[in-house]
Amino acid sequence: MIKDVMVRLDGTVADEVRLAAVNVIADLFDSQVIGLFLNILPVVFAAEDGVGAIGAAELLRIARETGDEREAKLRDRLNRLQRPVELRRFDTVSGETVAEREARAADTFVALRPNGAPQEPEHLVETVLFGSGRHLVLLPHRRPAKIAFERIVLAWNGSRESARALAEALPYMHKAKEVTVVVVDDEPPVDLKAAVGDDAVTHLKHHEINVILHRVRMRDSDVGRTLIAEARHLEANLIVMGAYGRSRVSEWLLGGATSTLLHKAPIPLLIAH
């Protein structure tokens, strides 16, 4: 079950999109909400920047006071959810490792889809995705008219990553009205490939989940775009998929479908690695 929902908050209007989804998840599972406020401090090198030690201290003081103001507003906003809430504030020069660490002790981490907008740093999302061991629920930047998790599409190819996503999404699937396992074929399936998806359907039926299998041909050599098109066709309101990729020092290498869904999913995306 989903008993604690962590959400990144930054004191901007984007919080309303995040909290709208958090409220739905918390209502669905009777969960506690944990707000994560990363108050990013300026990196100041007095000798190089020419600001002097006093100037550097002043910049840090202003950053912390601004953080105090935002923290007060965030506490007020969280209290209006009328459910158990907690706000965790961290003053840090880089929030990525903090978010990764904090997310490990929550059932889910809610954020916006990274698409170049400053509200959701791409590397922060990817660090949590690949380093926390938890699933993320990523949202489009524009708040949907209705947020629900009634019709779920599970992207399945029999891989470890898709198995992780299935396991993480089970609580949502138990609450859903319809679950569709979607298998994307790049050519007419033969032999063992023709049976891909049957195992996931059988497993979900063992969990007494109402599920069907839907096989589709890949469009324009793009698995991600094919999944988005099928989700629209099925009128889904949640896509579930495994994240493919690996880290190399400070650079993330994402699989093609992962990158497409991460940046372009038009509905909420549950993603796990």
Task: Judge whether 258 lies within some domain.
Answer: yes
- Is 203 found in the same domain as 79? no
Q: How far apart are the first and last CA of the chain?
A: 19
Backbone angles phi, psi at 107, to 5 degrees: -75, -30
The model carries a pTM of: 0.90
Taking only Cα atoms into account, the Rg of the chain, rounded to an integer number of angstroms, comes to: 20
- Is 239 found in the same domain as 157? yes
251-254 and 245-248 strand pairing: antiparallel
Determine the structural domain holding residue 40 and report its residue range.
Answer: 4-139
**Which residue(s) pair with 114 in the sheet?**
none
Task: Judge whether 250 lies within some domain.
Answer: yes
- Is 155 found in the same domain as 116? no
Task: Give the pLDDT of residue 253.
Answer: 54
- Is 24 found in the same domain as 116? yes
108-112 and 135-139 strand pairing: parallel
Neighbours of 147 (CB within 10 A): 18
Task: Judge whether 60 lies within some domain.
Answer: yes
Number of domains, the chain? 2
- Is 193 found in the same domain as 89? no
Task: Judge whether 145 lies within some domain.
Answer: no
The two tokens of residue 3 are 């008993």
- Is 265 found in the same domain as 160? yes
- Is 166 found in the same domain as 131? no
- Is 162 found in the same domain as 89? no
- Is 242 found in the same domain as 161? yes
CATH code for the domain in which residue 254 is found: 3.40.50.620
pLDDT in tens, 93-120: 989 999 999 999 999 999 999 875 556 8
Task: Judge whether 146 lies within some domain.
Answer: no
- Is 205 found in the same domain as 95? no
Write out the chain's pLDDT in tens, 273 residues: 899 999 999 999 999 999 999 999 999 999 999 999 999 998 866 555 555 667 778 889 999 999 999 999 999 999 999 899 999 999 999 899 999 999 999 999 999 998 755 568 888 999 999 999 999 999 998 776 788 999 999 999 999 999 999 999 999 999 999 999 999 987 765 555 667 899 999 999 999 999 999 999 988 888 999 999 999 999 999 999 999 876 544 444 566 888 889 889 999 999 999
List b or e across 22-41, with b for residues whose CB sees 16 or more CB atoms inside 10 angstroms. Answer: bbbbbebbebbbbbbbbbeb
Task: Give the pLDDT of residue 252.
Answer: 47
Where does a domain end: 85, 112, 139? 139
Residues 34, 121, 248: CA angle, nearest 5 degrees: 110
Task: Judge whether 144 lies within some domain.
Answer: no
Task: Give the pLDDT of residue 239.
Answer: 98
